């Protein structure tokens, strides 16, 4: 460090006592630590996460690539032929503005088709957050993609036909 830079830091730094006659150094919060702001490089690190929805569990890995999906060894269109499910799965990429930047490798077990799509969506959102939290977290959080949907099937109670359906009541 040059003498000029050291003098600038000393000018920004002040001393005070904390009541026990000890001097404490502090630095003003508003001053930047470096003269030029840092430019964030493109993130090329892979991310992994787990997503759950109802009974479905999705283990997801994101690898920098061209936007290809490999779900249980099949493509997105083969595994989820319904366009609504495909749109649900792509929501995290659209929200974080990184469509086509990552390849998705996922293993999904349990649940039905919609539950699996929801689990995969949460897993992708968490993996994007793990890769670059500064850039993607605010948009993912605002869209509600990082929140786990805790709704599950309610259990059947004794004396009832289903969770809440009671047998027919006869007054006489």
- Say if 116 falls within a structural domain: yes
Structural domain boundaries enclosing 93 = 47-142
- Say if 163 falls within a structural domain: no
Residue 105's CATH number: 3.30.230.10
- Say if 134 falls within a structural domain: yes
Per-residue pLDDT tens for 90-120? 999 999 999 999 999 999 999 999 999 999 9
- Say if 81 falls within a structural domain: yes
Per-residue pLDDT tens for 5-53? 545 544 444 444 445 555 555 444 444 444 444 433 446 667 899 999 9
- Say if 35 falls within a structural domain: no
Stretch 58-72: mean pLDDT: 94
Mean per-residue pLDDT over the chain, rounded: 83
Q: What is the pTM of this model?
A: 0.71
3-state secondary structure the chain: CCHHHHHHHHHHEEEEECCCCCEEEEECCCCCCCCCCCCCCCCCCCEEEEEEECCEEEEEEEEECCCCEEECCECHHHHCCCHHHHHHHHHHHHHHCCCCCEEEEEEEECCCHHHHHHHHHHHHHHHHHHHCHHHHHHHHHHCCCCCCCCCCCCCCCCCCCCCCCCCCCCCC
Q: How many domains does the chain have?
A: 1
- Say if 40 falls within a structural domain: no
- Say if 136 falls within a structural domain: yes
- Say if 11 falls within a structural domain: no
């Amino acid at each position: 460090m040059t003498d000029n830079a050291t003098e600038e830091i000393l000018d920004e730094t002040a001393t005070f006592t904390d009541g026990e006659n000890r001097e404490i150094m502090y630095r003003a919060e508003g001053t930047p630590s470096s003269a030029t702001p840092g430019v964030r490089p493109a993130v090329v690190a892979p991310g992994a996460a787990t997503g759950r929805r109802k009974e479905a569990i999705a283990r997801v890995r994101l690898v920098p690539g061209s936007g290809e999906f490999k779900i249980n060894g099949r493509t997105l269109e083969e595994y989820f032929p319904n366009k609504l499910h495909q749109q649900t799965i792509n929501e995290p990429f659209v929200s974080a503005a990184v469509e086509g930047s990552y390849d998705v490798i996922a293993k999904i077990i349990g649940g039905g088709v919609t539950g699996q799509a929801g689990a995969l969506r949460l897993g992708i959102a968490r993996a994007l957050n793990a890769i670059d939290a500064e850039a993607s977290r605010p948009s993912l959080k605002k869209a509600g993609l990082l929140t786990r949907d805790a709704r599950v099937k309610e259990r059947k109670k004794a004396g009832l036909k289903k969770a809440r359906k009671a047998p027919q009541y006869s007054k006489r």
